[in-house]
A and B are shown apart, each in its own frame.
Chain A
Amino acid sequence: MNPHPATVFVVDDDEAVRNSLKLLLKSAGLAAQAAVSGQDFLATYDASQPGCILLDVRMPGMSGLEMQHELNLRGASIPVIFITGHGDIPMAVEAMQHGAFDFLQKPFRDSDLLERVQRALARDAEVRVRLRHTDRIRERLASLSPREREVLDLVTRGKANKMVAGDLGVSQRTVEIHRAHVMQKMEANSLAELVRMMMTVAPPP
């Protein structure tokens, strides 16, 4: 479990907007933090903190789109909802092409914003669960010996123990022992589960 509650980060250079958004979010029972610029936000951003970002597009210095680019470079998965009073289609398309969760034009209804924030928080929670699951599989994979990894790769490609033994130049009994270790270390109950795990960490193209 993540020790931090989900937080909505408000990044806007306009103090009145920051305050009104924080008030709205808090009135809906959501934790909110504000930053006055993209640089200010990025300086303290902790990727382990769940939540979402309400990001102004036009800000002096680093624009909202530039901040999104920087987050992408850092591999951040946190959902970004852009807010703008002067949006146009090319700007919205660029933001969405680079992975924005949503793009909202002012004026908007409070209920619309809160509904989108809730969906963004739900998406963030889902992604974090998936990433934790993937990390656990990677940790288990790292615990395999080189030979066990070879056996794993071959059996998950559909090869029977006899064929694996032939490929690796070892006895079938040796393959059975390695395979049992693989199942135990990977915490898999079946070959199908093992295949699913491998597809999770290395999906087919």
Chain B
Amino acid sequence: MMGSDDSDDGTMDGPKETARTIIVAGQSSRRTREVLRALRGFTNVIWPTSLESTLAQASSVDAGCLVIADDLREEPVDEFLQEARELYRNLPIFVITDPDDVAEAVAAMRHGATAVIEIPPSYAALCDEVARATQ
């Protein structure tokens, strides 16, 4: 199981992490957090509270994947995705979005998301996407 090393304060000090980390931009819902914490293959989950701090944190840990939670809708997610994609070409990036918001999902994909997952996220769907992206 994972999540034992969760760092909820959005700060990471000390030497570069060696464990595979899932970075979750935003606080997200309780359900989303439970699903993400349960993901196999990752030993650490960190939760930066803004897109700005997310990129900085991604460079200081061994990021296995990045998840943009649904509570960051007010932030410029498309611009962030482009920037993240330029910096981390092969990093799987998942966007969690409102159900049936196809236009937002398409925009996220166009700007570099690996996949878009509807809320409430399904553990199985997220596992499948992460496994496919990290193969």
B106 on interface, CB distance cutoff 8 Å: yes
Give per-residue flags for A87-121: 1 if the beta carbon is below 8 A from chain B beta carbons, else 0: 11100110011000011010000000000000000
Minimum Cβ distance to chain A for residue B34 (Å) = 21
Q: Which residues of B contact A (CB under 8 A)?
A: 97, 99-103, 105-106, 109-110, 115-118
Do the beta carbons of A93 and B116 come within 8 Å of each other? yes
Do the beta carbons of B101 and A89 come within 8 Å of each other? yes
Minimum Cβ distance to chain A for residue B101 (Å) = 7
Q: A89-B116, A89-B118 are in contact. Are A96 and B100 (CB under 8 A)?
A: no
Residues on A with C-beta less than 8 A from B115 are: 93, 97
Do the beta carbons of A93 and B105 come within 8 Å of each other? yes
Residues on A with C-beta less than 8 A from B101 are: 89
Minimum Cβ distance to chain A for residue B4 (Å) = 31
Add 6 more A-B contacts to A89-B116, A92-B105 (CB < 8 A): A92-B116, A93-B116, A96-B105, A97-B109, A105-B102, A105-B103
Do the beta carbons of B97 and A89 come within 8 Å of each other? yes
Q: Which of B105, B106, B118 has the most CB of A within 10 A?
A: B106
Q: Which residues of A contact B (CB under 8 A)?
A: 87-89, 92-93, 96-97, 102-103, 105
Residues on B with C-beta less than 8 A from A87 are: 102
Residues on B with C-beta less than 8 A from A97 are: 109, 115
Q: Which of B101, B105, B117 has the most CB of A within 10 A?
A: B105
A45–B101 Cα gap in the complex (Å)? 33
Do the beta carbons of B110 and A89 come within 8 Å of each other? no
User: 26 A-B contacts, Cβ less than 8 Å apart?
Assistant: A87-B102, A88-B100, A89-B97, A89-B100, A89-B101, A89-B102, A89-B105, A89-B116, A89-B117, A89-B118, A92-B105, A92-B106, A92-B109, A93-B105, A93-B109, A93-B115, A93-B116, A96-B105, A96-B106, A96-B109, A96-B110, A97-B115, A102-B110, A103-B106, A105-B102, A105-B103
Residues on B with C-beta less than 8 A from A92 are: 102, 105-106, 109, 116
Do the beta carbons of A88 and B102 come within 8 Å of each other? yes
Residues on A with C-beta less than 8 A from B103 are: 105
Residues on B with C-beta less than 8 A from A89 are: 97, 99-102, 105, 116-118
Name the residue on B nearest A104 (C-beta): B106
Minimum Cβ distance to chain B for residue A116 (Å) = 11
Do the beta carbons of B100 and A102 come within 8 Å of each other? no
Name the residue on A nearest B116 (C-beta): A93
Residues on A with C-beta less than 8 A from B109 are: 92-93, 96-97
Minimum Cβ distance to chain A for residue B102 (Å) = 5
